[in-house]
Amino acid sequence: MGNTLRIGIIGAGSVARRIHAPGLRLCEDVKIVAVADPDAEAAASLKAPEIHADYRELLARPDVDAVVIAVPNNQHREIALAALAAGKHTLCEKPLAMNAAEAEEMLEAAQKSGVIHMTAFTYGFTPSARYLTHLVRQGELGEIRSVRAAYLMALSKHLLGWRSRRELAGSGVLGDIGSHLIHIVLELAGDIKTLSARQKDFRKDPTSDVEDWIAFLAEFENGACGTFEISRVCPGRGADVTEDMFIEIYGTKGGAVFSMQEPRALQVCLGARADEPANQLERVQIPQDWWKLPGAPRHVSEGDPRWSYRFDQAWRFVSAIREGAAPEPSFEAGLRTQRVLDAALASAASGAWTPVGA
């Protein structure tokens, strides 16, 4: 038991059941020792030895080394601050907070605590997204000029409930799925300087007070420009494992297209091929070494490749704790994305170009 890493899960809903618990259970010498959820049925579903209705009881346990916070967004701040104060390594769901001020407070508390902190930007673990980031950092695309980014899905039933309420979710489709897209684009193209957004609530659902479509035009700090569209009202764009996020990125030396539906392939036009204007993007499989994080315990032939990479997130958290090294994406990445969410909401409300706060 000496080397066993003991985890507590706070919030035993959909993401805990489908991503966190299975990911953690793949890791050697890792045990989910306790779960906290006021919903007894949800708490029991994770089959942990100890169950608490109140997360404070879980945080008081000396036999919990680290926690996963997977509750509705309006509770991330309170629970993360309590977890950090209790000295627990903390993996918190996205969007990290309700706004950038909260995210700043959480990052500051995390840095002071000295524990490992991480934001669950799960889709950044898509092998093709990691490989594309690698290509961009190697300079294969040259200087980035433009990005065309979209996360489109059809409406699915699980998106109703707390996600439809601003006071619980902070925003609608922007924070819910747009935060994943923005996180990856910032990794690829750097920070956004200013943006202009428009939003709609097309469904006019009386139980919802959040946007279900938002788009913005952005200027990056490095001079690149980008467009973003995030929607959950696109019939035919799928939901859950079939929903799609795609990012087109063009630089002085080449172009590439990422799609979440193609976790092991990219479309690229690079090198000498990019010098010939008639050449089109071509679909290439990414190298097999990139199909999972180095050392991750899962077998690449197991499960649907559009889902199984999500388990690498737990491996990243666990290895960072064991190595004492800051993991990516940390709370810092959570804050960086949150600043863009705040600016997009402010711009959609005012109609004005809005700087992204530093």
Ligand X SMILES: NC(=O)c1ccc[n+]([C@@H]2O[C@H](COP(=O)([O-])OP(=O)(O)OC[C@H]3O[C@@H](n4cnc5c(N)ncnc54)[C@H](O)[C@@H]3O)[C@@H](O)[C@H]2O)c1
Query: What residues line the site for ligand X (CB under 6 A)?
Result: 10-16, 19, 36-39, 42, 55, 70-73, 75, 93-94, 120, 122, 162, 176
Backbone angles phi, psi at 353, to 5 degrees: -60, 135
Tell me the closest approach of the beta carbon of residue 142 to ligand X, in angstroms.
32
Q: How far apart are CA 28 and CA 101, in angstroms?
A: 37
Tell me the closest approach of the beta carbon of residue 298 to ligand X, in angstroms.
16
Nearer to ligand X, 12 or 266 (CB): 12
First to last CA, the chain: 44
Tell me the closest approach of the beta carbon of residue 215 to ligand X, in angstroms.
21
Nearer to ligand X, 39 or 167 (CB): 39
Burial of 305 (0-12, 13-18, 19+ CB in 10 A): middle
Q: Pull the structure tokens for residue 53.
A: 């209705």
Tell me the closest approach of the beta carbon of residue 5 to ligand X, in angstroms.
20
Nearer to ligand X, 70 or 256 (CB): 70
In the complex, residue closest to ligand X by CB: 13
Tell me the closest approach of the beta carbon of residue 177 to ligand X, in angstroms.
9
Nearer to ligand X, 268 or 341 (CB): 341
Nearer to ligand X, 225 or 239 (CB): 239
Nearer to ligand X, 69 or 224 (CB): 69
Nearer to ligand X, 14 or 222 (CB): 14
Tell me the closest approach of the beta carbon of residue 1 to ligand X, in angstroms.
26
Q: Which long-range contacts (CB under 8 A, 24 or more apart) does 210-215 make?
A: 210/163, 210/164, 210/165, 210/166, 210/169, 210/171, 210/172, 210/173, 211/171, 211/172, 211/173, 211/174, 211/348, 212/155, 212/172, 212/173, 213/173, 214/172, 214/173, 214/174, 214/178, 214/344, 214/348
Q: Pull the structure tokens for residue 121.
A: 């930007």
Tell me the closest approach of the beta carbon of residue 251 to ligand X, in angstroms.
28
Instruction: Specify whether the CB–CB gap between 255 and 143 falls below 8 A.
Output: no
Tell me the closest approach of the beta carbon of residue 123 to ligand X, in angstroms.
7
DSSP-derived 3-state class of residue 30: strand
Nearer to ligand X, 37 or 312 (CB): 37
Instruction: Specify whether the CB–CB gap between 264 and 289 falls below 8 A.
Output: no
Q: How many CB atoms lie within 10 A of CB 204?
A: 8
User: For the packed helices 100-113 and 331-350, what is the interaxial angle rounded to 10 degrees?
Assistant: 170
Nearer to ligand X, 80 or 218 (CB): 80
DSSP state of 13: S
Amino acid identity of 32?
Answer: I
Tell me the closest approach of the beta carbon of residue 30 to ligand X, in angstroms.
19
**What is the dihedral sign for C-alpha 284, 288, 292, 293?**
negative
Q: How far apart are CA 252 and CA 232, in angstroms?
A: 33
What sections of the chain are H helices per DSSP?
14-15, 21-26, 40-45, 55-59, 76-85, 100-113, 127-137, 166-169, 173, 179-189, 305-308, 312-323, 331-350
